[in-house]
């Protein structure tokens, strides 16, 4: 599984953090890491520290927050995803189908009106 930042993906200058190039085994590891760290233990999770994730051009740290704010950055290298426990529960639900079988479709991991989207894309490159 690879993690990268894509700048200016459309005419509105939207940006995307992608988790891509993975199979159902890695999707399950991601789901489990989010479930255990953020939902159960209520601690932050730096995705670049997970052995199965290869950071390409950025780091993403998942944080618990009082409100769902989405992904924020100051420098386009280090990103923070600030969501509530319910926001991460929803993310886990969105990842689950990718744990059951290898899928080709992509999936936004939250539905917030922010500059930076978070995308699960199994076959992205």
Q: Which domains does the chain have, with CATH numbers?
A: 2-6+28-121 (3.30.1360)
Q: Model confidence over 35-83: pLDDT tens digits?
A: 999 999 999 999 999 999 999 999 999 999 999 999 999 999 999 999 9
**Local structure of residue 109 (DSSP, 8 states):** S
pTM here?
Answer: 0.94
- The contacts of residue 15 (CB under 8 Å, 6+ apart) are 5, 6, 7, 8, 9, 76, 115, 116, 117
- Helix axes 85-100 and 24-34, enclosed angle (nearest 10): 160
Q: What is the pLDDT of residues 80-118, one digit of tens each?
A: 999 999 999 999 999 999 999 988 899 999 999 999 999
In this predicted structure, the answer to whether residue 14 has a pLDDT above a threshold of 70 is: yes
pLDDT reading at 26 higher than 90:
yes
Residue with tokens 């992904």: 71
- 39 in helix, strand or coil? helix
């Amino acid at each position: 599984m690879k993690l990268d930042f894509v700048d200016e993906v459309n005419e509105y200058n939207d940006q995307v953090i992608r988790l891509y190039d993975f199979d159902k085994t890695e999707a399950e590891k991601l789901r489990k890491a989010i479930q255990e760290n953020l939902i159960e233990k209520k601690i932050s999770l730096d995705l670049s520290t997970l052995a199965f994730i290869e950071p390409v051009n950025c780091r993403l740290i998942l944080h618990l927050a009082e409100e769902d704010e989405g992904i924020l950055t100051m420098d386009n290298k280090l990103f923070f995803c600030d969501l509530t426990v319910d926001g991460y529960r929803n993310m886990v639900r969105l990842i689950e189908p990718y744990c059951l079988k290898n899928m080709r479709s992509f999936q936004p991991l939250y539905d917030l009106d922010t500059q930076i989207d978070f995308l699960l894309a199994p076959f992205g490159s």
